[in-house]
Amino acid sequence: MESPVLDIPSDEVADLLRNPYRLFAKRRRETSGVFRGSVMDWSAAPEAMPEKMYSAVSFDAVNRVFRDSKVFNSHIYDQTIGLFMGPTILAMEGKQHWDHRNLVSSAFKSKSLARWEPEIVRPVVTELIDEFIDDGQVDLVRQFTMEFPTRVITRLLGLPEEDLPWFRKRAVELISYHIHYKRAFQASAELKDYFLQQIDKRRSKRTDDIIGDLVYAEIDGERLSDESIYSFLRLLLPAGLETTYRSSGNLLYLLLTHPDQFRAVATDRTLVPAAIEEGLRFETPLTTVQRYATQETELEGVTVPEGAVIDVCIGSANHDEKRWERPEEFDIFRKRVPHISFAAGEHTCMGLHLARMETRVALESLLDRLTDITLITDDDPHIYGQPFRSPTALPVTFTKVR
């Protein structure tokens, strides 16, 4: 029996969660880079699959979809994550998108990043390592990669330390909207009320944090509405927590399972940026996003009708053999060719510089303070999931650097 959508044996559908790249490669070989159908498994609810469903799997096709926002727009998110986040730049296009992007981007200016690294990110990472450094063994997912982005975002927003447990719980509930949507709606409402209180506090006394920047951000005399601010702050949760913890975990797993490359990075820290980029290419934390075709168009020789939903497969694009030699190999020494993990065009991820900096600091700090880091393979830790991907666990042993 076959999946009605994926056209592969049903017993292979489970393999998608462990390694979707075999399916992606098959689709690239058999098509021009675009095909009718999905790269996602809809077999559990085939009735929910859009009638006009297409997938972009080559680098050129994915790049074109991202860059042509007039033809392929993001309004589809109004019916999905937008139900929980409210109106955000994720689903905006054109002038509305750029107006809001310019306003909120002031919170991510380069001088802020330069200050955040020594004042916030490194202290957070140091605190976390302090909590397990004397144990000689740790699960780097549970005690490190899942934890540090939450603490970083909390401090960047200027939230009280005692609110961290509550904030983390609401963030997880919101991120899990596809599993428990009623709980996600409740978390969304609670976060709205919470952020409105924080906004009011900053209107009475300005603070040097992201919420303070957003409250007073102004272009041509225009400021963000309360709804725009708290909706953007809710968007920061999946954008700033989910993807960062997954991408840093993916990189650590890849290095731990390629010990020669891990030793090279530990010996020569100038290789850290290359390792980060190769990790993002080889195992992007989010393999697939979606766009909506506003008109009939041709994409890589395939006619895509108006109203079609397109799976934009970043994970496949990053493994396109027409762009990379040996794309199915993790190799930090390969010739650098830009990947597309942060999207492209007007919806390029605004937090990409922060994400790279957080991952760099996390890796550098581990290498500075731990040595002989070795993955415990007894329970088969591995990268898992589709479209979100990250390690199930990263149990390691290590020696404390004296």
Separation in Å, CA 42 to CA 3, 47, 53, 367: 8, 8, 11, 42
Look at residue 86 in the predicted model and tell me its pLDDT. Answer: 59
CA-CA distances (angstroms) from residue 10 to 20, 190, 208, 383?
14, 40, 53, 21
pLDDT at position 121 over 60: yes
Query: How do the domains of the chain map onto residue ranges?
Result: 10-400
pLDDT of residue 9 exceeding 80, the answer is: no
User: pLDDT tens-digit profile of 273-311?
Assistant: 999 999 999 999 999 999 999 999 999 999 999 999 999
CA 330 from centroid of its chain's CA atoms: 19
Distance CA 353, CA 273 (A): 12
* Strand-pair partners of 311: 55, 290
pTM recorded for the entire structure = 0.90
Contact 122, 134 (CB under 8 A): no
In this structure, of 59-73, 159-173, 254-268, 278-292, the range with the lowest mean pLDDT score is: 159-173
Number of H helices, E strands in the chain: 18, 14
Model confidence at 87, pLDDT cuts 50, 70, 90, reads low
**Least confident span in 195-204, 215-224, 275-284, 310-319:** 215-224
DSSP track, 96-111: HHHHHHHHHHGGG-HH
- CATH number of the structural domain 10-400: 1.10.630.10
